[in-house]
């Protein structure tokens, strides 16, 4: 089975093509050790069941179980929920979305990393089909209260229950975490919503661009540039670019950079090589499957600024880098 990741899958992905069948799409985010996901696949043989998870050990475990049990309608993808929801799915394509016991570290100050927050919920609503279902379970009362408020303020979703949440969900197969919570005497809170016919929240599409590439003229040598390198952090709007390390090779520098954009984090390397005397080419290394987002173009532009700042006669000769909007 080919390993799937949001860095290597097409944006957006044609799920019918990937599963080899046009069927309703059921998605579980953060499936952990996968009991619930595999049960979904067995319960819905007529659906494509997709799990999204960031933890490698969970992915390996569930990939092996899918293989061993020859479950043809389940696949798992290595991705954060945010990146998958933004980049892999088209609007109105998901029939059921399940989130079970997210964010066990829930603290108010971690708000920006929380799965249940306005922006992420808006993408989920955008990706659900009219009539589609949204299910959430948590064992943290503060998380339940926060989610109830958020869901009540979501015009695209209707509560399927008469109360904000239920404390039992008959017929449910407990997840690993849920079983542990029950054994430790913690109560769980279950939510069930239906996507209605209200217009979907607007979600800006992030376009992939041609790979950034720049030619820089500089009187300096690669060695001088290497010694001038210092780690630095930059911010452009809601994109953060960190220059981490420089590595020196034969006629080449490798510049390790971390780029954080609202929908994706990428850890990439740029290659700086001398293609003619005093003429340097700056381009992305293919290491780690970089996706050419506006954030990577911002990183290339910032590296170009850094290179030209090192000498008064240094200048950019040609660039294929998207300007700031």
Ligand X SMILES: C[S@@+](CC[C@H](N)C(=O)[O-])C[C@H]1O[C@@H](n2cnc3c(N)ncnc32)[C@H](O)[C@@H]1O
Q: Tell me the three state secondary structure of residue 78.
A: strand
Residue 176, interface with ligand X (CB under 6 A)?
Answer: yes
Residue 7, interface with ligand X (CB under 6 A)?
Answer: no
Does residue 103 have an active-site annotation? yes
The alpha-helical segments, DSSP class H, found in 130-214 are 141-152, 176-183
Long-range contacts at 18-25 (CB < 8 A, ≥ 24 apart): 18/75, 19/48, 19/73, 19/75, 21/48, 21/73, 23/47, 23/48, 23/73, 24/48, 24/95, 24/96, 25/50, 25/93, 25/94, 25/95, 25/96
Question: Cβ-count burial of 56 within 10 angstroms (0-12 exposed, 13-18 middle, 19+ buried)?
Answer: exposed
Site string for ligand X, 126-145 (x = CB under 6 A): --------------------
Q: Which is nearer to ligand X, 106 or 258 (CB)?
A: 106
**Interface stretch with ligand X, choices 94-102, 143-151, 265-273, 308-316 (CB under 6 A):** 94-102
CB of 66 to ligand X, least distance (A): 16
Q: Which two tokens stand for residue 198?
A: 């209200």
Q: Which two tokens stand for residue 163?
A: 């109360």
**Interface stretch with ligand X, choices 25-33, 164-172, 201-209, 276-284 (CB under 6 A):** 25-33
Distance CA 50, CA 9 (A): 13
* Options 6, 48, 96, 100; binder of ligand X; rule CB under 6 A: 100
- The catalytically annotated residue of 103, 119, 139, 313 is 103
> Which DSSP state fits 134?
E
* Options 40, 58, 74, 282; binder of ligand X; rule CB under 6 A: 58
Residue 147, interface with ligand X (CB under 6 A)?
Answer: no
CB of 315 to ligand X, least distance (A): 42
Binding residues for ligand X, how many (CB under 6 A)?
Answer: 20
**Interface stretch with ligand X, choices 7-15, 27-35, 89-97, 186-194 (CB under 6 A):** 27-35
Residue 104, interface with ligand X (CB under 6 A)?
Answer: yes
Output the DSSP codes for 228-263. Answer: H---EEEEETTEEEEEEEEEEETTEEEEEEEEE-SS
Q: Which is nearer to ligand X, 56 or 230 (CB)?
A: 56
Site string for ligand X, 37-56 (x = CB under 6 A): ---------------xxxx-
Please report, as residue ranges, which positions from 286 to 315 form the binding site for ligand X (by CB under 6 A).
none
Using alpha carbons, list the distances in angstroms from residue 173 to 37, 107, 169: 10, 27, 9
Q: Which two tokens stand for residue 48?
A: 């494509």
Q: Which is nearer to ligand X, 17 or 119 (CB)?
A: 119
CB of 125 to ligand X, least distance (A): 17
Nearest to 210 by CA among 89, 87, 90, 319: 319
Q: Say what angle helices 118-127 and 141-152 make with each other, to 10 degrees.
A: 60
**Interface stretch with ligand X, choices 8-16, 86-94, 174-182, 189-197 (CB under 6 A):** 174-182
* Options 47, 62, 81, 282; binder of ligand X; rule CB under 6 A: 81
* Options 19, 31, 143, 280; binder of ligand X; rule CB under 6 A: 31
- For residues 77 and 56, the answer to whether their CB atoms sit within 8 Å is no
Residue 175, interface with ligand X (CB under 6 A)?
Answer: yes
- What is the chain's Cα-based Rg? 23
Nearest to 122 by CA among 90, 154, 94: 154
Contacts to ligand X by CB under 6 A: 29-32, 52-55, 58, 80-81, 100-102, 104, 115, 175-178
Q: Which residues are identified as catalytic? A: 103
């Amino acid at each position: 089975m080919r390993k799937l990741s949001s860095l290597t899958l097409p944006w957006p992905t044609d799920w019918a093509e990937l599963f080899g069948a046009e069927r309703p799409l059921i998605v579980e985010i953060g499936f952990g050790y996968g009991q619930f996901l595999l049960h979904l696949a067995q319960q819905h043989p007529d659906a494509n069941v997709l799990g999204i998870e960031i933890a490698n050990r969970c992915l390996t475990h569930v990939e092996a179980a899918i293989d061993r049990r020859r479950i043809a309608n389940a696949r798992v993808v290595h991705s954060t929920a945010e990146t998958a929801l933004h980049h892999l799915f088209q609007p109105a394509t998901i029939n059921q979305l399940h989130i079970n016991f997210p964010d066990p570290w829930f603290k108010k100050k971690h708000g920006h990393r929380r799965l249940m927050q306005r922006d992420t919920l808006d993408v989920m609503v955008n990706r659900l089909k009219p009539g589609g279902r949204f299910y959430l379970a948590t064992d943290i009362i503060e998380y339940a209260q926060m989610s109830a408020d958020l869901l009540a303020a979501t015009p695209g979703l209707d509560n399927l229950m008469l109360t904000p949440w239920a404390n039992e969900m008959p017929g449910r197969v407990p997840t690993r975490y849920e079983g542990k919570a029950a054994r430790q005497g913690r109560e769980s809170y279950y939510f069930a919503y239906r996507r209605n016919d209200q217009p979907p929240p607007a979600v800006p599409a992030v376009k992939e661009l041609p790979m950034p590439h720049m030619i820089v003229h500089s009187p300096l040598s690669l060695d001088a540039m290497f010694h001038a390198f210092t780690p630095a952090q930059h911010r452009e709007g809601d994109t953060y670019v960190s220059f981490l390390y420089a590595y020196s090779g034969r006629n080449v520098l490798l510049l390790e950079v971390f780029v954080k954009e609202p929908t994706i984090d990428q850890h990439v390397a740029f290659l700086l090589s001398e293609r003619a005397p005093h003429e340097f080419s700056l381009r992305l290394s293919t290491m780690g499957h970089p996706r050419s987002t506006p954030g990577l173009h911002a990183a290339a532009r910032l590296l170009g600024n850094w290179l030209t700042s090192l000498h008064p006669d240094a200048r950019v000769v040609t660039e294929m880098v998207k300007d700031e909007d």
